């Protein structure tokens, strides 16, 4: 099993100084990575913010969870990410997604194509990116992109390319992740375009058994080399796990035992959560856990207990 590591996803800070301090704090607490999403709401622009965070720290990885492919042309994005990876000496975790949040498309005026179209376009984009990074040039003729003699410069520090993160909740996108990525994020279904009842219903443990089976089948011989990642939605460090779980279950309208087994939920004492993460790694292979800024301090003892083990 892969050793545990942990990341924090956050969106912004009150000032540049506060952002640098936050990045240093995340590094000091033992987290591996600082992640930013890529939406058009109230958040920093990820490319600039990740660059600043990398410059403010020494070993902390920085990454996107995830860049929205529909508003990030691969030839442009390849150059930006290669530059950041070079300047940070290989500390970039490049996450790419097909786009899912309805409000991003409404706010930008971009067409929200059917999921299959968006996923196919992302797969082509990923092929272009990997070719530019690994060979230094790309000519590509696809359904969605036509690239002619594009130059892949600068050369990224990490070879043959920066660490690639792709995640999803459906079979098609998880298959792409299994074949092409280094880190596979296994998520609930976000087909509705927002986090609502459909996403919660698809977050039960049995669905994750199926998703891991899809990843294993698509990955073939490379499955053992993949890092499997889970983004948490609820993390509560509390003395009474049963009471807190029951309250959450009542709020979600889902049986308590189902909530307790959800990979995106972590509730209990530090010791209980440590044990639960070990159980989930044994069952699903999840060794890479992402929490949010609000719980990063309370969760730090879990990081101290498990990181690298």
Neighbours of 229 (CB within 10 A): 27
List strand residue ranges (DSSP E) for the chain, in order.
5-9, 33-36, 61-64, 67-68, 92-97, 137-141, 146-151, 163-168, 183-186, 227-231, 234-237, 265-268, 286-292
Any long-range contacts for 42-49 (C-beta under 8 Å, 24+ apart)? 42/11, 42/12, 43/11, 43/12, 44/11, 44/12, 44/13, 44/19, 47/80, 47/84, 49/12, 49/19
Three-state secondary structure readout of 80-118: HHHHHHHHCCCCEEEEEECCCCHHHHHHHCCCCCCHHHH
The DSSP bridge pattern shows strands 92-97 and 227-231 to be unpaired
The DSSP bridge pattern shows strands 137-141 and 146-151 to be antiparallel
Residue 53 DSSP one-character state: H
pLDDT tens string 54-104:
999 999 999 999 999 999 999 999 999 999 999 999 999 999 999 999 999
pLDDT value of position 269: 98
Q: What is the DSSP string of 231-248?
A: E-SEEEE-S-HHHHHHHH
Contact 113, 104 (CB under 8 A): no
Contact 300, 30 (CB under 8 A): yes
Q: Which of 100, 96, 82, 156 is nearest to 127 (CA)?
A: 96
The two tokens of residue 135 are: 């060979």
User: What is the four-CA torsion angle of 276, 66, 308, 216, rounded to 10 degrees?
Assistant: 70
Contact 57, 19 (CB under 8 A): no
Q: How far apart are CA 260 and CA 235, in angstroms?
A: 11
pLDDT tens string 6-41:
999 999 999 999 999 999 999 999 999 999 999 999
| Phi, psi torsion values for 249, nearest 5 degrees | -60, -40
| Angle between helical axes of 270-284 and 296-306 (0-180°, round to 10) | 60
Q: Where does 5-227+286-292 sit in CATH, by number?
A: 3.20.20.30
pLDDT value of position 200: 81
pLDDT value of position 252: 87
Neighbours of 180 (CB within 10 A): 19
pLDDT value of position 254: 86
pLDDT tens string 148-204:
999 999 999 999 999 999 999 999 999 999 999 999 999 998 877 877 778 788 899
Which residue ranges make up each domain of the chain?
5-227+286-292
The DSSP bridge pattern shows strands 183-186 and 163-168 to be parallel
């Amino acid at each position: 099993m892969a050793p545990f590591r942990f990341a924090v996803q956050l969106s912004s800070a009150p000032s540049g100084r506060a952002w640098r301090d936050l990045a240093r704090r995340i590094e000091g607490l033992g987290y591996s990575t600082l992640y930013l999403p890529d939406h058009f709401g109230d958040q920093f622009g990820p490319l600039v913010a990740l660059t600043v965070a990398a410059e403010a720290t020494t070993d902390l990885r920085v990454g996107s969870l995830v860049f929205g492919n529909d508003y990030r042309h691969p030839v442009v994005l390849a150059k930006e990410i290669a530059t950041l990876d070079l300047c940070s000496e290989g500390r970039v975790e490049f996450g790419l997604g097909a786009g899912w949040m309805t409000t991003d498309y409404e706010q930008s005026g971009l067409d929200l194509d059917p999921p299959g179209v968006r996923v196919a376009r992302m797969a082509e984009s990923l092929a272009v990116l990997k070719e530019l990074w690994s060979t230094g040039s790309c000519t590509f003729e696809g359904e969605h992109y036509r690239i002619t003699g594009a130059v892949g410069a600068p050369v990224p520090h990490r070879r043959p390319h920066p660490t690639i993160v792709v995640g999803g909740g459906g079979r098609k996108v998880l298959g792409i992740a299994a074949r092409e990525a280094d880190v596979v994020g296994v998520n609930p279904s976000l087909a509705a375009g927002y986090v609502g009842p459909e996403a919660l219903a698809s977050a039960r443990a049995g669905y994750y058994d199926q998703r891991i089976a899809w990843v294993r089948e698509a990955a073939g011989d490379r499955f053992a080399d993949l890092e499997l990642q889970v983004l948490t939605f609820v993390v509560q460090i509390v003395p009474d796990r049963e009471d807190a779980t029951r309250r959450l279950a009542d709020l979600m309208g889902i049986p308590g035992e189902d909530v307790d087994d959800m990979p995106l939920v972590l509730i209990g004492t530090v010791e209980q959560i440590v044990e639960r993460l070990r159980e989930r790694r044994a069952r699903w292979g999840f060794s890479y856990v992402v929490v949010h800024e609000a719980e990063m301090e309370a969760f730090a003892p879990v990081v101290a207990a498990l990181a690298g083990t």
